[in-house]
Homo-oligomer: A and B are copies of this chain.
Amino acid sequence: MNEHDLHEIERYYQSLSTLIRLHGAEHMGRQYVVVRLARMEVTGPLDYSDLQRILGRVPDLRSWWDSWSREARDAEALARRLAGKGDPISAGDLFHRASACYHWGAYLARFDSDERAEGKSHRVRCYREAVDMWSERIEPFVVPYRDTQLPGYLHLARGDEPAPCVIMVDGADSVKEEYHNWARQFVRRGMSVLTLDGPGQGEMLGRLPMRPEAWEEPMGAAVDALAESGRVDADRIGIWGSSMGGFLVLRAAAFEPRLRAAVSSGGFYDFRDFRFWAVTTQLNVMEDLGVDSLSEARDYIEERCSLEGVVDRISVPYLVIHGARDELVSIPEAKQMAAGPTGEFVNFEDGLHTGTNHNATLVPLMCDWMARKLADA
């Protein structure tokens, strides 16, 4: 990281803290400014009252981690008490809650802080404890890739027959633990799900860099591992991704023919507005890519991350979901994603980035579409 980056980051933190002082973190979350209340609520075990309470204790950016980690510790302590009493379902729910709170605590903790690292580590650990407690059929599942392993969870559909399977791909700052609720929505509809931290994502951050321009490689490894496991119907594997994941899945679908359908929600064609994103999110991408400065990250994205010539190669059905109020990607950019011969495009007029503010209609759209395409595959 160079001096210029450090200066830009400090300036961003200061302006963010000023916004929080002026408007309160809760109001910012309601208005979807960096703090995205809809995302926090829809993807994990937090409801509005929780967010109101947690964000009400955040008068400035410095308080962010303290408030979230306090909620996380309380949830984890209660989870342990419940586990000790023999109430595993409740304990699982509370470990899940702790994981989510650690995740969001790390989300706006300073990028170079111990707290951020701590939050990430506890997020992983607590979700694993939740899975061990619950009675749902969710199993840790690793994908051998190069000389390492990509960690994930296999959510198994009901019944003994191997079911179609959806690989869920993280975004730039989302993680396999975050997608629990949506994974369960696929499972309700008869599909199994693999949530996974790919290179540069979640647990793989700092261990293997993300190569967006070759995302078919780790996804091919995931298909191999799923097929070898015998736990899913390997002829009916689809892929789903949100935000940066919405870019990655289209890249993978173009070059990994064993992926039979793809859903891209809130994705990007060429990240043309990348340098205007929140600096914290650009920092996440910098880390994902394993490069050393914001300018390198911007160059990398500009030079290597485009779906030009890619979407035309996709031969399986794919669905692009966009929200017209997305602050990171415009309608023209989103439409280019869907311009391949097998692409479909759905625009939510009132939709924000990744459509989390219309979850009740988003879920049927993406889950039923996937179920149908995998059934037809």
Using a CB–CB distance below 8 Å, which chain A residues touch chain B? Answer: 30, 37-38, 41-42, 45, 47-53, 75, 78, 82, 85, 87, 89-90, 93-94, 97, 188-189, 350, 356-361, 363-364, 367-368, 371
Complex contact A368–B53 (CB within 8 A)? no
A49: which of B45, B49, B90, B358 is its contact (CB, 8 Å)? B358
Asked if A367 contacts B41 (CB within 8 A), the reply is: no
Bound state CA distance, A47 and B356, in angstroms? 10
A363 and B41 in contact, given A48-B47, A49-B357 (Cβ under 8 angstroms)? no
A234 to chain B, nearest CB (A): 24
Q: A82-B368, A89-B189, A368-B87 are in contact. Are A97 and B47 (CB under 8 A)?
A: no
Closest CB-CB distance, A123 to chain B, in whole Å?
17
Q: Are A364 and B41 in contact (CB under 8 A)?
A: no
Chain B residue at minimum C-beta to C-beta distance from A82: B364
Decide if the interface of chain A is mainly helix, strand, loop or mixed: helix
Q: Which residues of B contact A52 (CB under 8 A)?
A: 30, 357
Contact A360 B97 (CB under 8 A): yes
A367 touches B90 (CB 8 A): yes
Closest to A46 in B: B360
Question: Is A78's CB under 8 angstroms from B38's CB?
Answer: no
Given A30-B52, A350-B53; A364-B47 close (CB under 8 Å): no
- Is there an interface contact between B368 and A85, defined as CB atoms closer than 8 Å? yes
Q: In the complex, what's the smallest C-beta–C-beta distance from A96 to chain B, in angstroms?
A: 10
Report the Cα distance A48→B358, complex, angstroms.
10
A360 touches B38 (CB 8 A): no
Contacts of A359 in B (CB 8 A): 47, 49
Which B residues lie within 8 Å of A361 (CB)? 78
Contacts of A38 in B (CB 8 A): 47-49
